[in-house]
Amino acid sequence: MQLSSEHRKIIEDSIRDIKDFPKPGIIFKDITTLLNNKEAYSILMNHLYEKYKEYNLDYIAGIDARGFIFGATLAQMLGLGFVPIRKKGKLPYTTISEKYSLEYGIDEIEVHIDAFSKIQNARVLLMDDLIATGGTANAAATLVNQAGANCVEACFIIGLNFLDGIKNLEQKTAVYSIIEVN
């Protein structure tokens, strides 16, 4: 399903740019203003519902933490289970983890080892608010597959096309971003 140009503009206009956050030279895309705009959030979530209702998904996995907001809402709308992919040390049961590179160092995310075990070869949609360099998203897609499921697509509200994150992630799974920043 295509998002109309009018609806795309409503969503885009609801996202606030914050200059020099978290450091000079960065323009941070603040989605909190999208979340508190009932019209924009409704348009966004209804668009995602229409897009993914025929994908025969089994789960939605959301990346810590803003992916939880969109992923859990969409999972409820589609009648699916939601799986959180969290930062290291936040999940209480046995986990598998994946490290990824940051600009200065390494970070790690994890998922419960049995997160997708109720459905063999479960079809999973991965969600987050934004893809930049793609380190976290690539690690999350790897975790979904390592946990015995199939990451069929990764969905982002915002894709920063001037970085290589989308291109790199497309080597693992299909990628859809609603708002593309060039």
pLDDT tens digits, 18-29: 999 988 999 999
Q: Is 104 exposed, middle or buried (0-12, 13-18, 19+ CB in 10 A)?
A: exposed
pLDDT exceeds cutoff 80 at 104: no
For residue 46, what is the DSSP state?
A: H
Helix, strand, coil % over all residues of the chain, rounded to 5: 30, 35, 35
* Residues marked as catalytic: 66, 103
Question: Do the bridges between strand 105-112 and strand 95-102 make them parallel or antiparallel, or are there none, so unpaired?
Answer: antiparallel
Residue predicted with more confidence, 89 or 104: 89
Q: Which residue in 41, 37, 40, 32 sits closest to 10, CA to CA?
A: 40
Distance from C-alpha of 85 to C-alpha of 142, rounded to nearest angstrom: 11
Integer-rounded Cα radius of gyration of the chain: 16
H/E element holding 171?
A: none
Mean pLDDT of 116-125: 96
- Give the tens place of pLDDT for each residue, 133-160: 999 999 999 999 999 999 999 999 999 9
Going from the N-terminus, what domains does the chain have, and what CATH number goes with each?
56-181 (3.40.50.2020)
pTM value?
0.95
